[in-house]
Every structure is written in C-alpha cells, then in structure tokens.
Amino acid sequence: MGLIQRVIEQSGIPTIGISIVREYSEQVRPPRTVALRWPFGHPLGEPGQVRQQRAVLCELLKAAVTIDRPGTIIDLPFRWRRQSYSNYREPERF
C-alpha cells in the first residue's frame, strides 16, 4: 500500500493508510499510517459495529491532518472486542 500512497502523493493528493501489521509498515514506510492490532480482514472493526468503525475513521482522519512527517505511524488505542464505543465522542471538526 505504501508504494501506491507515494505515487498518489506525488500528484499532490495526501493519503493515509490503515495497518494491521505495524512491522510491515515500518519496512515499507508509507507517507502516513495508523496501526491497529486487529485480525486480518477487519481494518475498520467488527462487521455491523457502526460506532466502532466510525471511531476508527474519525481517528484516521484526525491523523491524516496532524501527521507532519513522512513515514509517521500512529498506534490507535482501540482494542479488539474489549472496548465499548458508546461513549466515543466524534470531534466537531477535523
């Protein structure tokens, strides 16, 4: 994914990726990445868990705006199936 991100960024379009295996992202060094320790095939969360998926997307978009150094990886604090997202507050603005 990092190679594709670099090509897109050369056109002036910022990108951000979601990594399930942080070690791979460290080797590839994509421009911007958030990392989650979740099972393969579930980068946004569990099927049907809209609050969980929305929380991941909100943090992803915040990271896209705040990361200012290429190759930065932010570890998101979410835990697979152990966290309630009912109290998650979406930011008012990105």
Contact (Cβ atoms closer than 8 angstroms) between residue 34 and residue 74 = yes
DSSP state of 20: S
pTM for the structure as a whole: 0.79
Contact (Cβ atoms closer than 8 angstroms) between residue 37 and residue 80 = yes
Contact (Cβ atoms closer than 8 angstroms) between residue 16 and residue 67 = yes
> What's the pLDDT tens digit per position in 23-80?
999 999 999 999 999 999 899 999 888 999 999 999 999 999 999 998 999 999 998 8
Q: Report the alpha-carbon angle 42-81-92, nearest 5.
A: 80
CA distance linking residue 74 with residue 62, whole number of Å: 11
